[in-house]
Amino acid sequence: MLLEGKIAVVTGGTRGIGYATVKAFLEQGAKVALFGSREETVKIALEKLNEENADYPVIGLHPNLMDPQEVKSAFQTVVDEFGRIDILVNNAGISQRDKIFDYNIEDFEMIMNLNVNAVFICSKEAASLMKNQGGGVILNTSSMVSLYGQPAGAGYPTSKFAVNGMTKSLARELGKDHIRVNAVAPGVIKTDMVAALPDEVIQPIINTIPLRRVGEPEDVANAFVFLASDMASYITGVILSVDGATMS
């Protein structure tokens, strides 16, 4: 198992890419704390995992990721339960697709708060713990639109471009503390929203992807497993595209 004995925190872990990452980490031998936005969704995710394997070592929390004190308290709960934190996956995020003329500044600020500020807050807390224990891994969810933009909803690609910059900068800063920092930039992934699209909408999108399919959440989760594992021990500061060469 690639993550045997490791302790991981996955934000946005109740569905989609986050849930697939939690499950993949558990299957690879890690103990996992999944963070969600609401107690209700966390409970549902835990119940689903327990149905699949009642022995999974997993707990769920729902801190406000934009509140440093709540994040600190949640991380301490994980340490109290599992002893340490080896891996942080900053996956929580929101999107928005309004055109600039209709864009609400409050919506833009919310995207930046969760997609950027929360990543900083969680990374700062994790880095402090990891430095004291001798190292660790911080992984961020970026997006292919951070590299290519999108036709509307400028806040989302802007936030993910910022995540890329934070990833590369923290990799350079924290390397001496044996903390690796990388990001995964998914392309079109079969989340609930994409899966609900009618064939006449999704097929033209598939036709633009060289691999001729949309990605599965597990495709992204597998990339996180690799980057979290010792197989990637000399990889840091990388934005790994998992997009089927969509925009290449």
Q: Note whether 113 and 65 are within 8 A (CB).
A: no
* The pLDDT of residue 191: 85
Q: Note whether 90 and 160 are within 8 A (CB).
A: no
* The pLDDT of residue 248: 63
Instruction: Say if residue 195's pLDDT is above 80.
Output: no
Residue ranges of domains in the chain, CATH in brackets: 7-242 (3.40.50.720)
Instruction: Say if residue 45's pLDDT is above 80.
Output: yes
Work out the pLDDT band at 22, boundaries 50, 70, 90: very high
Residues 6+ apart with CB under 8 A from 109: none
CA 132 to each of CA 42, 128, 168, 200: distance values in angstroms, whole numbers, following the listed order = 29, 6, 22, 53
Length of the chain: 248
- Give CA 240 to chain center in angstroms: 13
Q: Note whether 11 and 18 are within 8 A (CB).
A: yes
Give me the mean pLDDT over the 167-195 stretch.
94
Helix (H, G, I), strand (E, B) or coil at 136: strand
Catalytic residue among 19, 103, 156, 234: 156
Is 247 or 216 the better-scoring residue by pLDDT? 216
Q: Across all residues in the chain, what is the average pLDDT?
A: 96
Instruction: Say if residue 97's pLDDT is above 90.
Output: no
Q: Note whether 155 and 103 are within 8 A (CB).
A: yes
What does the alpha-carbon distance between residue 71 and residue 125 come to, in Å, rounded to a whole number?
8
Structure tokens at 129: 């713990």
Work out the pLDDT band at 196, boundaries 50, 70, 90: confident
Catalytic: 148?
no
**pLDDT, tens only, 103-153:** 999 999 999 999 999 999 999 999 999 999 999 999 999 999 999 998 999
**pLDDT, tens only, 225-236:** 999 999 999 999
- Exposed, middle or buried: residue 132 (CB in 10 Å: 0-12, 13-18, 19+)? exposed
Instruction: Say if residue 83's pLDDT is above 70.
Output: yes
